[in-house]
A and B are shown apart, each in its own frame.
Chain A
Amino acid sequence: MKANCWTGISSVEVEEVPDPKILNEHDAIVRITSSAICGSDLHLYNGFIPTMKKHDILGHEFMGEVVDVGREVGNLNIGDRVVVPFPIACGRCNSCQRGLYSCCENSNPNAGIAEMMMGHSPSGIFGYSHMLGGYPGGQAQYARVPFADVGPIVIDDGIPDEQVLFLSDIFPTGYMGAEMCDIKPGDVVAVWGCGPVGQFAIASAFLLGAERVIGIDRFDYRLRRVREKTGAEVLNYEQVSVLEALKEMTAGRGPDACIDAVGMESHHANPAMYAYDRTKQAARLETDRPFAIREAILACANGGTVSVIGVYGGLVDKFPMGSLMNRSLTVRTGQCHVQRYMKPLLDRIRNGDIDPSFVISHKMSLSDAPSGYRMFRDKQDDCNKIVLYP
């Protein structure tokens, strides 16, 4: 089959690889009908996630048709149309049973590597480094889906791929980001990063009853999209001081909740500030550039919540612990526990509360994945979200 493989920093190639087969009795094989490139794939592309190996298949947002099932998969039939959640979760350990699917205790056979870096291991993830399992991803014609009896959700009506594909990651991720803010009537929510996850966080904050939502980014085309598609207010951090602007917009209180939808590769309007952390990152003195999270903490209202859904890999420097502690802030975080959101969010889509296809800007063939990655990273042609068709 054809698959999009990581071949080094800033390099992916569509290669001919063997077809997947069942390795565990809880597996299913899925023929992929559509797959997307995620902003977090760019962290792999840019070489900031350790333990990638040449020829690793990328991709963790995909859906398709079940073509084979292992003996223990009783809930799926060949021919079922399914969306696959990006965290791989066994459904039987304590974490899974508490709904913390992305912290599954069994799905990462390489837990030892993750424990060295993070103390404890999170779940395995499709196409996301060997530290997170060494599982091939879904930017391919077929994928093996472990624990197919737990993760995938069956879509049994004619609702198009484009409306349900993002149940695999970015819609639930944005939604969980907003849900962790525990939004109450009158709350103002600020969202750092207006990429697709930020856009879903903004839309979800409105769904959950936020009074006002403010999106922060530096690309006008994204800010325009946010204003038009979600009705949020926007700030371009290259043009205004975000801290001052947020104080001004909230009469000094600051946003009640701040969502970091940026993660480890954030930017700063001041080139000197950017260079400081970029240099340290290049020298491996820190793995992640934390501009967005620093600002989100400083901006947040006293007693407010900082919700982190942007992906971090390792260590950051100059973390404003004093601001966090002295002002009674709450930090909530997590790779999305997608399995627990798929059903309720599918209902929201069916009810017409939201049509997730609003984020798509480009559709292309799987064989064009290399140019898609370049385009998405370099923000060419107002690229917002790419869907690949095998």
Chain B
Amino acid sequence: MSKYDPTTERMAQTLGYVSLGLGASMTLAPRVVTTLAGVDDSALARLMTRVVGMRELMHAAGLLAGPPELVWTRVAGDAMDLPALLIAMGNRHGTRRLRAVLATAAVAGITAADVYTAWRTLSERRQGERGGVTADNVYTAMRRVQDRTSGSVGPKHVEAAVTVNRSPEESYQFWHDFSNLPRFMIHVDSVEPRGDGMLHWRAEEPLRHKRMEWDAQIVEDRPNELIAWRSVDGAVGPSMGAVHFDTAPGGRGTEVRMELDYPESPAGRVGMAVAKLAGEAPDQQARDDLRRFKQLIEIGEIVRSEGSPEGTHTRQLLRQRPAQPLPS
């Protein structure tokens, strides 16, 4: 089983074909290439084109047959080609110069793709080495495919659900006493009602552990059914939140569904991917929060083990203590 994400493998494969195409045209038809790149006036440029073409064929062989991390050889090649092209560009004029600029821009574009793919292989490899759990590379891959198909890399809208062995009345009341929220919402420090359905939230920002505060307005409150709120300025935290309570069929308790909307931000996807690796992504947190809600309302406390003394928290899954008593 591969330790790389299928997308990374596909990207490396694609770059392999790019190398094959470039290498083949540079070695078989160097004249066409030198003309297109605006360097057809120099014998040295023609020779170099052939040499670079041979090198491209080696990148292609490596990437198509070998592991994706060989994309680093392409990055090294780019580091040689870009300065050469820049020099060539500086020495040309007129339409030659225009062609050289276009060629340089194209190579710069490919370089960006190379660097990004190379970075992915590196971070995935580190992640693989950190894992350390024996028999589960199969499962990790399965989960990746699942995550991909469900499109949950950078969720803006988060939903989580749990069934609790309590009535909708009890569940609603427990939730409606907002001082209970910090007991199960991992990052929330306090939720303070300020009259007129206004809630003042204090929380810790995941990952950066920065304190943040915001106000939210309760926009809907139907006893034993629904509580929904919306951030007043929407600058930090979820911009909208709602929790629904429905009677589970056949006396199975209550189905509790939570949804949260996060504001859109340009760093969203990357930030979210980083958060996910650290077990701090909003969807993971929402699931953890509901698990803890279930423990609180069914048992009255958060269940702790010596391996996970903080109790349920996705972050804790990666940082297990040994299963032996805590030092006093």
Contacts and interface: CB of A to CB of B under 8 A. Distances in A.
**A: contact size bracket:** 35 or more
Interface in B240-260: 252-253
Interface stretch (A17-25, A212-220, A269-277, A295-303): A17-25
A314 B306 CA distance: 24
Contact of A21 (B253, B308, B322, B328): B328
Given A116-B143, A134-B320, A136-B323, A287 B135 contact: yes
A133 B304 CA distance: 9
B325 A144 contact: yes
B252 A94 contact: yes
Interface in A32-89: 47-48, 50-51, 53-57, 72
**A53, A94, A113, A134: most-surrounded residue (chain B CB, <10 A):** A134
**A54, A93, A137, A314: most-surrounded residue (chain B CB, <10 A):** A93
B165 A133 contact: no
Nearest to A134: B307
**A90, A92, A109: most-surrounded residue (chain B CB, <10 A):** A109
B321 to A, nearest CB: 7
Interface of chain B, main secondary structure: loop
A117 B325 contact: no
Contacts of A116: 136, 139, 143
A70 B322 CA distance: 23
Given A21-B328, A127-B323, A117 B139 contact: yes
Given A50-B133, A90-B299, A109 B139 contact: no
A106 interface: yes
Nearest to A281: B135
Contacts of A287: 135
B307 A110 contact: yes
Contacts of B303: 24, 90, 106-109, 124, 146
Contacts of A26: 299, 301
A370 interface: no
**B: contact size bracket:** 35 or more
Contact of A130 (B135, B163, B291, B320): B320
B136 to A, nearest CB: 5
A111 interface: yes
Contacts of A99: none
A269 B167 CA distance: 56
Interface string B297-328: 01111111111110110101100111111111
Nearest to A284: B135
B138 interface: yes
B325 A47 contact: no
Contacts of A106: 294-295, 298-299, 303
A51 B312 contact: no
Nearest to B313: A109
A112 B314 contact: yes
Interchain residue pairs A-B with the least CB separation, the first 6: A134-B307, A55-B322, A56-B323, A109-B308, A20-B325, A18-B325
28 contacts: A5-B322, A18-B327, A18-B328, A20-B306, A21-B325, A47-B134, A50-B135, A51-B133, A51-B136, A53-B320, A53-B321, A55-B323, A57-B324, A90-B299, A92-B299, A93-B165, A94-B163, A107-B303, A109-B303, A109-B307, A111-B312, A112-B317, A116-B136, A116-B143, A117-B139, A134-B306, A284-B1, A315-B138
